Amino acid sequence: MKLFKKLAAAVLVAALALMMVGCGGSKTGLAQQVKNAVSDDAVMRNEQATNSKDLDALAAKLLTEYNNEIAALDEGADWPNLQDLLDDETFLQKFGIDPEKDAYKVSLVYVPSYISDTMNQFKPFSLADQLRRDADHTIGDPHIGRKFEFGLAIGTLDGENWVLMLMK
């Protein structure tokens, strides 16, 4: 019985450790893996991408507020156009963004749920590539050079997981 309790405690500690470093399938773990993949992808293109905690927080606020806009809609209504919101100064003022001074490229990508371990290994790299490629929304007039900062947030929009990335 003592061996069983020790084994159970060891398994619990190992599971908690795996969740803390991102191997437990959590959004936090996936977010860090995607951030690492974005940085690695930039290096492979001879660029430098630096994650910014301030931009992470701003991305989270934007994603939350976009979800609030969706939640306020009538059942079955189309989602508001993200670019229209990003062009709305009243919407941006909620976050302290002045489009005359602040400029960002914005990506919003759906996060599919992969079942196999092989696909889960591929997920962060796939999302990083999509986020970089699909940065077709803007705030202000951004010019992303070879060195850029980025922030990332994973959250729920209408019950599904999405990733929002800001670059400046």
pLDDT-derived band of residue 80, with 50, 70 and 90 as boundaries?
very high
pLDDT digits (tens, 9 = 90+) for 99-121: 889 999 999 999 887 555 665 67
- What one-character DSSP code corresponds to residue 24? S
Percent share of the chain, pLDDT over 90: 54
> How far, in Å, are 85, 107, 127 from residue 132 at the CA level?
21, 7, 9
Instruction: Give the per-residue pLDDT at 5.
Output: 41
At 9 the pLDDT is: 40
The residue with tokens 């437990």 is: 24
Is the pLDDT reported for residue 167 higher than 90? yes
Q: What is the DSSP letter of 138?
A: E
pTM summary value: 0.77
Q: Using CA atoms, how far apart are residues 124 and 5, in angstroms rounded to an integer?
A: 36
- As a residue count, the chain comes to 168
pLDDT for the residue 111: 87
Cα-atom radius of gyration of the chain, to the nearest Å?
A: 19
Helix (H) or strand (E) holding 48: strand 48-51
Task: Flag whether pLDDT at 49 surpasses 70.
Answer: yes
Comparing C-alpha atoms, which of 167, 165, 160, 164 is closest to residue 70? 160
pLDDT bracket for residue 26 (50, 70, 90): low
pLDDT tens digits, one per residue of 125-161:
888 888 988 899 999 999 899 999 999 999 999 889 9
| pLDDT at residue number 2 | 52
The pLDDT of residue 88 is above 60: yes
Question: With 50 as the cut, is the pLDDT of residue 4 above it?
Answer: no
